[in-house]
Amino acid sequence: MRPSGRTSNQLRPITITRQFTKHAEGSVLIEFGETKVLCNASVVEGVPRFLKGKGQGWVTAEYGMLPRSTHSRMDREASRGKQGGRTLEIQRLIGRSLRAAVDLGQLGENTIYVDCDVIQADGGTRTASISGASIALHDALFHMRKTGMIKTNPLRHMVGSVSVGIYKGTPILDLDYIEDSSAETDMNLVMDENGGFIEIQGTAEGETFTGDELMQMLELGKQGIREIFDLQRKAVAV
Amino acid sequence: MRPSGRTSNQLRPITITRQFTKHAEGSVLIEFGETKVLCNASVVEGVPRFLKGKGQGWVTAEYGMLPRSTHSRMDREASRGKQGGRTLEIQRLIGRSLRAAVDLGQLGENTIYVDCDVIQADGGTRTASISGASIALHDALFHMRKTGMIKTNPLRHMVGSVSVGIYKGTPILDLDYIEDSSAETDMNLVMDENGGFIEIQGTAEGETFTGDELMQMLELGKQGIREIFDLQRKAVAV
Amino acid sequence: MRPSGRTSNQLRPITITRQFTKHAEGSVLIEFGETKVLCNASVVEGVPRFLKGKGQGWVTAEYGMLPRSTHSRMDREASRGKQGGRTLEIQRLIGRSLRAAVDLGQLGENTIYVDCDVIQADGGTRTASISGASIALHDALFHMRKTGMIKTNPLRHMVGSVSVGIYKGTPILDLDYIEDSSAETDMNLVMDENGGFIEIQGTAEGETFTGDELMQMLELGKQGIREIFDLQRKAVAV
Amino acid sequence: MRPSGRTSNQLRPITITRQFTKHAEGSVLIEFGETKVLCNASVVEGVPRFLKGKGQGWVTAEYGMLPRSTHSRMDREASRGKQGGRTLEIQRLIGRSLRAAVDLGQLGENTIYVDCDVIQADGGTRTASISGASIALHDALFHMRKTGMIKTNPLRHMVGSVSVGIYKGTPILDLDYIEDSSAETDMNLVMDENGGFIEIQGTAEGETFTGDELMQMLELGKQGIREIFDLQRKAVAV
Amino acid sequence: MRPSGRTSNQLRPITITRQFTKHAEGSVLIEFGETKVLCNASVVEGVPRFLKGKGQGWVTAEYGMLPRSTHSRMDREASRGKQGGRTLEIQRLIGRSLRAAVDLGQLGENTIYVDCDVIQADGGTRTASISGASIALHDALFHMRKTGMIKTNPLRHMVGSVSVGIYKGTPILDLDYIEDSSAETDMNLVMDENGGFIEIQGTAEGETFTGDELMQMLELGKQGIREIFDLQRKAVAV
Amino acid sequence: MRPSGRTSNQLRPITITRQFTKHAEGSVLIEFGETKVLCNASVVEGVPRFLKGKGQGWVTAEYGMLPRSTHSRMDREASRGKQGGRTLEIQRLIGRSLRAAVDLGQLGENTIYVDCDVIQADGGTRTASISGASIALHDALFHMRKTGMIKTNPLRHMVGSVSVGIYKGTPILDLDYIEDSSAETDMNLVMDENGGFIEIQGTAEGETFTGDELMQMLELGKQGIREIFDLQRKAVAV
């Protein structure tokens, strides 16, 4: 039924490449099928002004799409002179999700910037970003410990994220672009390794969704994120 | 247990004043306790460029806070030269929620702008905005029919919205500022009059939330929104 | 002769509501007929960079119009990314007028921001803003004394402001929107309680004005401002 | 008593150089003592959007200061990314003053931009700008007639402008920078050749001014502008 | 002598990957050693306003660096709200270089945007961009012919580019970051396949360079670009 | 053959006026024929953040064109809200060229801003800017020594600049606007008094240029710059 031939609860093939670039303390290329996002975590001494002198650190994210990561070319945000509302909304979501995974007090007065740049888009860029950023963050924290910037590991758990939706009346997992374009409902889930929810963002496009549909989507999402955690753990075990 | 003495499933007193200003086709001051938002719906001929010639209309929203609507003064966004990410995120949410209530084909090539400006903030400004904007939209559409701009009523249903959260371990309805500031989880619900979900946005602040807590919050929210629909219907019946 | 039936030297009904919102140290809704402006004075510790270390304070103003405060909807300045020339001109005028009323040396290194936001416009928003801001400033200074931030009252006098103009060849007081739109001359006066002039800004629209007309407008304005001072004094006497 | 040794009603030496640059249809360097402003009037076919199809033209002005036209270097507005409030206020004043001199209906659907760029500032740049722009406008209109763009001369009269003020308690004419910096009151007058007022903008700096002082300043200003009209007429008679 | 052990006239290993992403009509990842740039050519119907109705096309380029493509993280230009001078300078250079290779008349009223985004920087990003963009442009033009948008091939020749410089007194070819940081002179050459010069941009850093050094650099650059043309031809022959 | 009747190696008449304005520490109006640029050098205490505490100074440049310095009026960059790519490219070139002439260590922690504002453009504004800025810089440094801000002269040598190009197949020196508009190649050279190259920027417009043509252009440029150095030396000898 799905254009790709996947079953309703089937993730796309997920590939995780660590150390994709050489400068960033954590650098991960994550692929959810044809969606490819480069997640670079940078360790920078100091914290934003509102945290100065409080003895804690900060984790924040920025998100961007290369102009031709999409089917038709989008304007370059740097050239238009501002980031769009969708971009800001996504980078706020990534940032909150990552901060939920870190004990900021153990970070010292350091900031980790995680840049998620979409090389190729085919649906689910924000959930791929979060899932990849979690590993880049892991690697950046490991680098900080190795170089003595911090003594203990502030990472409480990995963060996994996936989209679910109602497509032609059926709940499905991990929507690609074609599915996303005509889905009645689109929902993004972010969870921790203990099954706790960090973020739920569900939007009806056209038709509203019922409580039952919500339950089915949550169930699909939980299963999908469990698989993502397995892949993340395998990736960092190398 | 709640600072205000409310029970966990108790809304704040809600006041709806229609025709609050005289120029807008729909003008509603909505108060959720001490939170006061002015929702003005303006009818403008024509549609944005991406809809030209498609024979349908558009509904969009803008959101702003007066600089001293908050405890300490915020910078004026017009003076800083851009709207912040939170502002853009909220006005996108309001716009999507309202469009879910309107048959855009019946609007003709007209645009309705709904401006939600926060006069005084005490938590829940985005859910108050949506609940008030729904009435302002209703009034603007009525004005369009009365003046012959449209023949039929494009409004499918009212839209209601409320926040729920986990506060000191307990699910509560309609958080005020004090509760919001220390809640473990904050969730905004938007629904239609038939009990369908339009938007769910839940965020864990510090602690993640469980599936059970999610269910309890959804239940509280559904009840609260039912009460809001009653108040909306009473207000427009006058 | 005037569309409203007022005599040439008659002010519109003026209403002053103090403590209109709860967060600001001074909060005044002022109404000149159908023109409604919310004036919030905020006390903020510290001064702009150019005054640091000089042992004095600062008073400044910002002005804005809600997008649908006017007959047809205006673009939101925050969304356009900049304040227009008219806005900047008005907020500079309000700021200068208020500073003329305050002994900045007695303020200490504190800043008072007065935000004048137009809820509904029907002509004369700048003069209503100044007249209302003067009371909001008064209340904020009272708050500073009460809380011990300052020892003495830096307020030298109230500030009153009104518009005058030539309408169909006749000098009139306090123009509403209809009059303003077709007036040959529009002049704004700002004065102190001793009859001294703080600002005069007169503009010929179409036809120039003579010295005689100027004299008549000044006379009308002086009378009008005297009445405004009476209303201000009554308002703060409560 | 004046730092320059001038009497209270004495203008600075005024020099007017037409055709100062070669591209502009009207190009005037005007000098009021050490204040030097280049006023270029450009004729451009077409009108702003709000005037399209109305069969009339438009006259508008832009103002700028070279970064080192002043005692200490100012930031370049193009580099800061916006024009300041003072700049916008001044260019609005110049534009209004020039439009008062032109029958826009006779202009056809053409726009005249008058750029006033301050090469060297020593007080009174806005009044020098207006007085010089009037001649540049005259020359641009002459060019339009000569080239057949218009049939009749839309210029009703020249526009003259000068500043007056209260300096050490005495009303004086045409303040230079030193006087302006310590004047109690600063007023700018714009008039037509028939003695009609186009603009009056008076500001008390520190001390308010009385009605008597206002009368004295107006008298001084009228005399000064008469002299400026003589110089303008001589300049264009060549 | 060179940190990398290369001889003075030795290029870094160059890798060209076509069809690196799937949406762009031409998509090339080009690597000059550790410098990696993604060059995406997008075909868009229509031309910029200044070319409308002239029956010709346009080729333009945009350039960006991912925030962590560099040793330490740079601010994201989209977030700062403007592109820096270096970025604009480079994208203007790329655009001019590509236009020199295309007969714009044969393009029809179509625009090709070439986006050069630096994934990893190690010196020479602008010359790698031009060399890779030339292939992406080639592929996009091939796509246009295949799909019938154009009848003939507007590409006159490939464009090759390389940097040369004076490093520790010796002319060298294709500087990497370490060499670039301490070179006395840095020069970028752009040439066509017939040995004609398209662009020369040489800058002395600290010490000026002599006519003899210039000749030696030009000679090195010509040789290097010949090798690049060989690699380009091999890449597109596949 | 040249529209102006000049021989191929003939400069336009060059005029240098020092102390053109009174506030700047160095103020030079330089004219290359009809091209007129005002170059003002300002001495400001302190250095940009990236140099703080390093015990050295900085020299930087800004460039602008008055809106009607050109044949048809250009938009004012301050009003458009940003400097264009051409402007940034030119001011970066001027800044680098001037820094090549100064021992920044001898400047102390001071900055010299050189503002080059084009009063009238007729081709070659960037080379005229550099040639004039060199003298303004010289004068500003002299002022610093005279007032005791620095003990020794940090100026190593003057900087001269001229354009060369291929026009109708012939190499020519110092292109005016008509020549520049139809030249096949345009090259800007910046040199020091010892014949060393500081910058070479050559661009083929339409046709590429050969090595031989490059040599001829360099030879013409060297001769032209020698003449400019003679004029600079004469100007500062007064």
Helices of type H across chain F: 77-80, 85-99, 125-146, 177-182, 211-237
In a domain? residue B209: yes
C100 touches chain D (CB under 8 A): yes
Q: For residue range C65-117, what is the model confidence (pLDDT) as tens digits?
A: 999 999 999 999 999 999 999 999 999 999 999 999 999 999 999 999 999 99
In a domain? residue D82: yes
What's the pLDDT score for residue A205?
A: 86
Enumerate the residues of chain A whose CB falls inside 8 A of the CB of residue E83.
Answer: 78-79
DSSP B49: G
Measured distance CA(F33)–CA(F43) in Å, rounded: 29
What's the pLDDT score for residue B77?
A: 97
Looking at the complex, report in whole angstroms how far the Cα of residue D202 sits from the nearest Cα belonging to chain F.
27
| pLDDT values of chain E reduced to their tens digit, one per residue, 238 residues | 899 999 999 999 999 999 999 999 999 999 999 999 999 999 999 999 999 999 999 999 999 999 999 999 999 999 999 999 999 999 999 999 999 999 999 999 999 999 999 999 999 999 999 999 999 999 999 999 999 999 999 999 999 999 999 999 999 999 999 999 999 999 999 999 999 999 999 999 878 999 999 999 999 999 999 999 999 999 999 8
**Domain total of chain B:** 1
Q: How many C-beta atoms lie closer than 10 Å to residue D160's C-beta?
A: 27
Nearest-CB residue to C92 (from D89, D198, D211): D89
What's the pLDDT score for residue B130?
A: 98
The sign of the CA dihedral F203, F209, F210, F215 is: negative
Strand, helix or coil for residue B161: strand
Enumerate the residues of chain A whose CB falls inside 8 A of the CB of residue E64.
Answer: 76, 78
What's the pLDDT score for residue A104?
A: 97
pLDDT < 50 regions, chain C: none
- Is B115 close to C42, i.e. CB distance below 8 A? no
Does position A144 have pLDDT exceeding 90, yes or no?
yes
Nearest-CB residue to B100 (from A195, A198, A204): A204
Is F132 among the annotated ligand-binding positions?
no
Pairing of strands E197-204, E185-192: antiparallel
Q: Domain range for residue B180?
A: 14-236
pLDDT < 70 regions, chain F: none
Nearest-CB residue to C88 (from D88, D191, D196): D88
Enumerate the residues of chain F whose CB falls inside 8 A of the CB of residue E82.
Answer: 82
Helix-helix angle D125-146:D211-237, to 10 degrees: 40
- And the tokens for F136? 């303004």
Nearest-CB residue to C76 (from B23, B62, B73): B62
Nearest-CB residue to B197 (from A96, A195, A214): A214
What subunits make at least 3 CB pairs under 8 angstroms with A? B, E
User: Which of B203, B210, B212, B216 would you mutate first to test chain A, the one with the most A CBs within 10 A?
Assistant: B203
Q: Which residues contact A146 (CB under 8 A, 6 or more apart)?
A: none
What's the pLDDT score for residue E61?
A: 98
D214 touches chain C (CB under 8 A): yes
In a domain? residue D8: no
- Is C22 close to B78, i.e. CB distance below 8 A? no
Backbone angles phi, psi at B218, to 5 degrees: -60, -40
Does position D117 have pLDDT exceeding 90, yes or no?
yes
Nearest-CB residue to A21 (from E76, E82, E120): E120
What pLDDT band is residue D238 in, cutting at 50, 70 and 90? confident
What Rg, from alpha-carbon coordinates, does chain E have? Answer: 18
B187 touches chain A (CB under 8 A): yes
Residue of D nearest to C189 (CA): D202
DSSP strand E in F6-109: where? Answer: 14-18, 26-32, 35-45, 58-65
Enumerate the residues of chain E whose CB falls inside 8 A of the CB of residue F86.
Answer: 92
- Is B197 close to A191, i.e. CB distance below 8 A? no
E40 touches chain A (CB under 8 A): yes
| pLDDT values of chain B reduced to their tens digit, one per residue, 238 residues | 899 999 999 999 999 999 999 999 999 999 999 999 999 999 999 999 999 999 999 999 999 999 999 999 999 999 999 999 999 999 999 999 999 999 999 999 999 999 999 999 999 999 999 999 999 999 999 999 999 999 999 999 999 999 999 999 999 999 999 999 999 999 999 999 999 999 999 999 878 999 999 999 999 999 999 999 999 999 999 8
Q: Compute the count of residue pairs across chains D and F with CB atoms less than 8 Å apart.
A: 98
What's the pLDDT score for residue A1?
A: 86
Inter-CA distances, A11 with A122, A173, A183, A188, A226, Å:
13, 6, 17, 14, 11
pTM of the model: 0.96
Mean pLDDT estimate for chain A: 97
In a domain? residue E9: no
Measured distance CA(F23)–CA(D120) in Å, rounded: 8
What's the pLDDT score for residue F238?
A: 81
Please choose, from the candidates D128, D145, D58, the residue with its C-alpha nearest in 3D space to the C-alpha of residue D96. Answer: D58
Q: Is 0.90 exceeded by the ipTM?
A: yes
Measured distance CA(A112)–CA(A61) in Å, rounded: 8
Pairing of strands F35-45, F110-120: antiparallel
For chain E, the three-class secondary structure string (H helix, E strand, C coil) is: CCCCCCCCCCCCCEEEEECCCCCCCEEEEEEECCEEEEEEEEEEECCCHHHCCCCCCEEEEEEEECCCCCCCCCCCHHHHCCCCHHHHHHHHHHHHHHHCCECHHHHCCEEEEEEEEEEECCCCHHHHHHHHHHHHHHHHHHHHHHCCCCCCCCECCCEEEEEEEEECCEEEECCCHHHHHHCCEEEEEEEECCCCEEEEEEEECCCCECHHHHHHHHHHHHHHHHHHHHHHHHHHHC
Residue of E nearest to F94 (CA): E203
Residue D84, domain CATH: 3.30.230.70
- Find the mean pLDDT for residues D121-136: 98
User: Which of C66, C88, C139, C177 would you mutate first to test chain B, the one with the most B CBs within 10 A?
Assistant: C66
What pLDDT band is residue D150 in, cutting at 50, 70 and 90? very high
Please choose, from the candidates D193, D163, D160, D187, the residue with its C-alpha nearest in 3D space to the C-alpha of residue D175. Answer: D163
Does position A206 have pLDDT exceeding 90, yes or no?
no
In a domain? residue E161: yes
- Is C38 close to B66, i.e. CB distance below 8 A? yes
Looking at the complex, report in whole angstroms how far the Cα of residue A99 sits from the nearest Cα belonging to chain B.
8
The separation between the first and the last C-alpha atoms of chain C, rounded to the nearest angstrom, is: 37
B105 touches chain A (CB under 8 A): no
Q: For residue range D73-106, what is the model confidence (pLDDT) as tens digits?
A: 999 999 999 999 999 999 999 999 999 999 999 9
∠ at Cα F58 (F53, F62), nearest 5°? 140
Enumerate the residues of chain E whose CB falls inside 8 A of the CB of residue F209.
Answer: 196-197
**B81 backbone φψ class: left, alpha, beta (φ>0; ψ -120 to 50):** left
- Find the mean pLDDT for residues D63-81: 97
What's the pLDDT score for residue E200?
A: 98
In a domain? residue F3: no
In a domain? residue A228: yes
Does position A72 have pLDDT exceeding 90, yes or no?
yes
Write out the DSSP string of chain D.
--TT---TTPPPPEEEEES-SSSSSEEEEEEETTEEEEEEEEEEES--GGGTTSS--EEEEEEEE-TTSSSSPPPPHHHHTS--HHHHHHHHHHHHHHHTTB-GGGG-SEEEEEEEEEEE-SS-HHHHHHHHHHHHHHHHHHHHHHTTS-SS--B---EEEEEEEEETTEEEES--HHHHHH-SEEEEEEEETTS-EEEEEEEESSS-B-HHHHHHHHHHHHHHHHHHHHHHHHHHH-
In a domain? residue D136: yes
